[in-house]
């Protein structure tokens, strides 16, 4: 199974750290954020990885190279300086991702999620990893029904972690261009074609300088296993 790391975000909330450096290359414990994710994916057996990029994206290509030093094969999907939003970025990368289910991971999360759990899954249109709502996102995104399907609402709303499996058919019929992922997911969810699971372990969205500092402190303590 191939994997894709979404690395095209502008990182506006991280300024001034991202004025001259793309957010995926900000360092924690001496390594760039995206390196932590690459190493986790490779350890779980995902060695064919596609990375999209936009703002200052050439820095990502030059920093990571072909992936040989990580034990991976890296391919890049450039989106220009402005980017294409999440779904648009995935659609743009589909020629590199192939015809089968693939894994997508946000570059700006830190987690000890065991990616090996996803390698043998064959979802219909998608499978989402959900987490308990963090303080900065208290109302959540989706729920899970009693048979493991993602639903729009439930008695316990959860937050989408930025980790998901997708079948290329989820994006079928949509032309290239800027497009958000949420509407596509909600349409597939409404038709009962997206499954999910709740992950109770460590997860952080590294969306602000304060959270980057907090992750650095946790890394020193070895709390998140990266």
Fold of 3-220: Spore Coat Polysaccharide Biosynthesis Protein SpsA; Chain A (3.90.550)
Question: Which of 11, 1, 219 is CA-nearest to residue 107?
Answer: 11
Summarize pLDDT for 120-146 with one digit per residue, the tens.
Answer: 999 999 999 999 999 999 999 999 999
Summarize pLDDT for 168-197 with one digit per residue, the tens.
Answer: 999 999 988 999 999 999 999 999 999 999
Max Cα distance, the chain (Å): 47
Please list, in sequence order, all residues whose beta carbon lies within 8 angstroms of the beta carbon of residue 177, skipping any fewer than 6 positions away: 84, 88, 91
Q: Identify the weakest region by mean pLDDT among 11-25, 62-76, 119-133.
A: 11-25
Domain boundaries, the chain: 3-220
CA-to-CA distance for 142 and 222, rounded, in angstroms? 31
What DSSP designation does 169 have? G
């Amino acid at each position: 199974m191939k994997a894709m790391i979404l690395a095209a975000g502008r990182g506006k909330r991280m300024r001034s750290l991202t004025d001259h450096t793309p957010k995926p290359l900000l360092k924690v414990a001496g390594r760039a954020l995206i390196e932590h994710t690459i190493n986790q994916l490779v350890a779980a057996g995902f060695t064919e990885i596609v990375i999209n990029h936009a703002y200052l994206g050439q820095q990502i290509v030059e920093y990571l190279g072909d992936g040989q030093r990580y034990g991976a094969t890296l391919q890049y999907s450039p989106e220009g300086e402005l980017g294409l939003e999440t779904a648009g970025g995935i659609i743009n990368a589909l020629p590199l991702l192939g015809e089968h289910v693939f894994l997508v991971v946000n570059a700006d999360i830190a987690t000890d999620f065991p990616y090996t759990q996803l390698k043998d899954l064959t979802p219909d249109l998608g499978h989402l990893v959900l987490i308990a709502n963090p303080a900065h996102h208290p109302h959540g995104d989706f729920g899970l029904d009693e048979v493991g399907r993602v639903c729009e609402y439930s008695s316990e709303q959860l937050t989408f972690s930025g980790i998901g499996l997708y079948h290329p058919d989820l994006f079928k019929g949509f032309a290239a261009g800027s497009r958000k992922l949420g509407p596509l997911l909600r349409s597939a969810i409404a038709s009962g074609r997206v499954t999910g699971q709740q992950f109770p372990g460590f997860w952080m969205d590294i969306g602000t300088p304060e959270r980057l500092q907090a992750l650095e402190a946790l890394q020193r303590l070895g709390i998140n296993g990266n």
